[in-house]
Each structure stands twice: as C-alpha cells, then as structure tokens.
Copies of this chain bind each other. A is one copy, B any other.
C-alpha cells in the first residue's frame, strides 16, 4: 500500500503556518562574553560605569579652571595660580575643567602665564566620553560580533543574557548506524541529525540529539513525548515519507495535532509539521539534500522568527551557464557552482538528486527557483546565495570536458597552491561547447589520434580558430579491459560493453574494427552503451560483460587485465588569452612540474614525454607548434 500526499501546501503557506502556530519561547541563558560571539542578547546591556570614569587630559600641559582664563590675550596675559601639571591620559583633578597645551604656557616663577583664554573642557577627555554609567551598550536583539566583546569588557560586562532555543533531535530508522560504526550493506551512517545539530548550533540553538530510534511507532512515540517536555522545538529525522515504515505522521497524530504533511518544495516535499503539547514538531525528510532544505528553509526561519540570528547570506547575481528546468508549482532549491570567467559570475546547476550529498559539498551556493517559474534559459541572470566566502570564487578554476584520474592528481597538487578545481564531465562535445560559450576556464579533452580536425572542426571554427591553445597533460593507453586478458580479435566471442557514440574510446574502437575487418554486428553487446570508461570497468568487474574499451588506469583501479590497443592524447584546451591568467599559469606550471610527471609515471599507463608542452591551432585549423615543444608524430 502506498500512501499519497492528499494536499501539498505552498512554501509560503507552510512558512506562515510554521511561524504563526506557536508561542515564542522566552528561554534565555547567561553566557560569558568570550563565548558570546554570534549570540543575540535577550536583555538590553547597560554600562556598569562611565568610561572614562574621570576626566582625562588629552594633551601634555596644565589643567586649569577655564573661568580663571577669561580675558587672557597677548596684551593682557594672565598668571594662573591654580593649576596642575598633566600628561596625556592623566586624570584632570575635579577642580579643573580645561587643559592648556604646554606649548601655550610660559613659566612665571612657581606659576604659569597664559596669553589666550581656555574654553571649558578644551583638551579634556570628559568622564563618560565613550559611555556613561547605565547607558545602553547593546539593545535587546543585538547580535554580538567579535569586536563588541572588547567594548563589553571595557564597560565592566563579564557575561550577557542571551536568547537560546532548545531543540531536541530524534533520529529514526532501523537501517541507521551511529557515526563511527561502519555500515553493513544496506545500512547508512546516521548523518542528518549530526548536520542538523551543527547547523542549528551555529544559529544559537542548544541541541540535544537522542539515540537512534528504530522504525517502531511505540518507541518513536515514547521518545517524542520525552523530547517535547524539555525542548522548544523537536525535529524527527526521517520517517516522514509516505512509505509503509514511515510512522512520524501517525505518532504526531497520536500525541497531538498534524499541521501539515507535504509542501510543494523540492527537495523536501515530505516535510511535516505537528504540534505536541504546544510545541512544534518538524518532520525532516530522510534524503540528505531534502533534510538540508528543511533545516535551512523551515527550521532556520522558525528560529529567526523567535529572535535567533539569521543564517549568514551572501547573495550574488550570476549568469546561468546552462539551462535549468524546474517543476512549475514547486519552489525548488538547487545547489550550484559559481565561478568567475572574466567579469562574469557563472553558475552551473549541480545535480538535483536529493540523495547525492557530494552535490552540496562540491557546490558553493544554491538558488531558489520560485514556484511560478518553469525554469531558466542558459544565460539568464539570477540570484545565488553563496555557501562559501565570496573571495574563494577567485581561487576557483572551472574545467569542463572529459575527466581522467590524471586530472584528479593535478587537482590535488593545485589545492596545495590554494587553487581549487571544479571539474565536470560532459565529455569532449560538452567541453567544446563550454569553450565556445566561454563558460569554462579550460576544457580537458580526450583526443584519439587523427580524429581532432574532422570530428571537432565545426566547434573549433565557432571558437575563432587560432584562439585555442592545447596543453598536453599526458598520452594515455587505451585498450581492452577484461578479466581474462582478451584482445581485439577475441571480441566476437565475448560479451562486450560499449561506450557512447561520441566518446574517444568508441571512435577508436570503430576505427580499429574497420582496420581488423570486424563488423560491429559480430560484436555481442556492441549496442549496449554505458557512460564512460569507469562504467565499462564496473560492468566487467560485476560480471555483466566480458570486455570493453577503457584506459589502463581505470582498468587497473578495479583490478582488471588490460590489453593496450591505441593511445589517446589528454589535452587541456583553453582560449589562448587565458594563458595570461595567473590561475592558469599556476596550473600549467604544476603540469610541467617534475612532481606531477612522477605521480603519473608511478600511477602507470601514462606516457609523460610530452607532458606540459603547449601548442596552438593556426588560422588554417591545423595543429602547429605554439611554444617550445615539438608536435608529436601522428598527432594530426
């Protein structure tokens, strides 16, 4: 039996219900000032005493009574009998109300002569100049910043009363194991409540995480009953979908009232809100990205409506590097990667699968697509909220094309230099499209020999031929992977697994089959395509096929035997002007470094004799030497 969501509320309606259905908790706690950064003060903070507490001299000179100086002038000098010698920062004795600079007084026996009247309070830092006793330092609701702490200490404050919200977090699910335990197949580490605690603690909540509760409605009910007693908000993780083992809704109903279940938001549709003993109970969906959305778009606004600080927001306006589709009627939150190409901030949507946590790790922001929008065309300007320091964008390089393990090794070297690589894998065709639309810094290409000019000419032409430079990363062995060490001639008798039509491995295979006189129809499995060399290797390792084309590093990574049949050139294509970019310069110097060559040689399957050479395309679209380094035989 599959339950359905009878009614999906809009995000706006759900947020209105969330923020208006509950009394604002009034909990506060005393926090020593050194732990108070990021907290919101619950009561106004007043100065314990004036600062400075007494009048201080702002100059080296003499403290005087200003009334005594009235009438002093060049022709009517005045000799002062009442004065005190003071230096900067000294106390001005209470009987004086002005300081005359030492340069403006003349010694006259034991006294001083002056030739100009002193205005009341001149050169005096009056008591209370910074703050007066009992005056407001921080208003109620002020969010404490690091430098506020200095003022608080100066004004005699050791601790503040800060707002706090207690949140009880209940992880449920029989398939869960706690952090530190290795999950068996089918089990997963309970991570959503860890994420919830870390995220909400940052906002000034005080979280209590309960032990994992198996999928048993009685146990969940008991824990919830306990949790609502001590907390202002209870979050139940998972069990909020519409499956047969999802008990959260029925447990809430049995103890209180269900306010909503199901909101037109993606990811996060199964989000649920209940009320038990007057307290909100938020049902967190089990998929990690859905849980994140619920924490950020529901839990955080609820805490903010209760006076806790908002999560920091870094909005930037970006241009979409590719189209972004969206379900009309749903508010969607999509992780995106933002990078800068020239003066343009470009955003690439980063996978919408709710289960894929690496999407948020690799993304540095997210965008909110309102329910009324069906999607955006490539090139649309929209707002992204960054999840990283905006400055970090300048340290990001966007690489789009065909990925190979050699690029990952390069990225690890680059990270040591503070240069971050964001690589995506749409293949050679996608690489050239990205170069053409100027939506990547560099495009890694797997180029089977002889195929470049015929296959990719249309794209390169659109790129203003002659504007491209090719940085050679490595020459990579391409061959037949199998468990038994099969070769090209063995293919007709084996179960083969193929790659997509435009892939280098496929192009090479087709050329080799022609050369060997083998008709594709003779190859059992020629029509079964998977995406890229790693999928080929995985299919063979798992027994779904006997042989396939891939690179030697991919084959050896999963323990397959490998019979080389050809080479491919792994090249980084860039617009020639990008050679001046400091980040590209760093990357090129890393490619050319002995350390990188040594890593490739150690990995095996890479010929590094041309690694680091840079070549260009001339206006006739033929490959020509571009900088020191020779054109490899047979490259064209």
Q: Which A residues contact B (CB, under 8 angstroms)? A: 2, 33-34, 37, 44, 48-49, 51-54, 60, 65-67, 88, 90-91, 94-95, 97, 120-121, 125-126, 128-131, 136-143, 145-156, 158, 179-180, 182-183, 185-186, 188-192, 194-195, 197-199, 202, 243, 288, 291-292, 307, 309-310, 312-315, 355-358, 360-361, 387-392, 408, 411-412, 415-416, 418, 420-421, 495, 528, 530, 535, 538-539, 542-544
Contact = CB atoms under 8 A, between A and B. Distances in A.
Given A53-B183, A140-B416, A143-B388, A34 B149 contact: no
7 contacts: A49-B183, A94-B543, A97-B542, A151-B360, A153-B195, A154-B189, A154-B357
Contacts of A126: 538
A528 to B, nearest CB: 6
A145 B195 contact: no
Nearest to A357: B151
Contacts of A140: 412, 415-416
A116 to B, nearest CB: 16
B361 A146 contact: no
Given A179-B158, A183-B53, A361-B138, A191 B150 contact: yes
Contacts of A389: 143, 309-310, 312-313
Contacts of A357: 51, 130-131, 150-151, 154-155
B412 A44 contact: yes
Contacts of A60: 2
A101 to B, nearest CB: 12
Contacts of A544: 65-67, 97, 120
Contact of A120 (B387, B388, B530): B530
Contacts of A358: 130-131, 137, 151
A452 to B, nearest CB: 30
Q: Which 4 A-B pairs have the closest CB atoms?
A: A150-B195, A153-B191, A139-B415, A151-B357
Contacts of A388: 143, 145
Contacts of A131: 357-358
Copy tally for this chain in the complex stands at 2
Given A147-B360, A314-B314, 16 more contacts: A2-B60, A37-B198, A54-B185, A66-B544, A67-B495, A94-B543, A136-B408, A139-B421, A141-B420, A146-B198, A149-B195, A150-B192, A150-B288, A153-B179, A154-B188, A155-B357
B312 A141 contact: no
Given A309-B389, A388-B143, A292 B120 contact: no
Contacts of A421: 139
Contacts of A145: 387-388
Nearest to A531: B121
Contacts of A139: 411-412, 415, 420-421
Contacts of A189: 153-154, 156
A415 B389 CA distance: 30
A567 B135 CA distance: 26
A180 B355 CA distance: 51
A295 B149 CA distance: 14
Nearest to A191: B153
Contacts of A313: 389-391
Contacts of A125: 355
Contacts of A49: 182-183
Nearest to A296: B147
Given A183-B53, A361-B151, A530-B120, A197 B34 contact: yes
Nearest to A130: B356
B143 A392 contact: yes
A377 to B, nearest CB: 28
A66, A67, A90, A539: most-surrounded residue (chain B CB, <10 A) = A67
Nearest to A145: B387
Contacts of A150: 191-192, 194-195, 288, 291-292, 357
Nearest to A361: B151
A268 B337 CA distance: 39
A135 to B, nearest CB: 8
A263 to B, nearest CB: 20
A194 to B, nearest CB: 5
Nearest to A314: B314
Contacts of A129: 355-356
Nearest to A60: B2
Contacts of A147: 195, 199, 292, 360-361, 387
A182 B197 contact: no
A39 to B, nearest CB: 12
Nearest to A41: B415
Nearest to A140: B415
B121 A530 contact: yes
Given A151-B361, A542-B94, A146 B390 contact: no
A400 to B, nearest CB: 18
A127 to B, nearest CB: 8
A366 to B, nearest CB: 10
A116 B257 CA distance: 46
Contact of A202 (B37, B121, B195): B37
A412 B34 CA distance: 25
Contacts of A141: 415-416, 418, 420
B149 A198 contact: yes
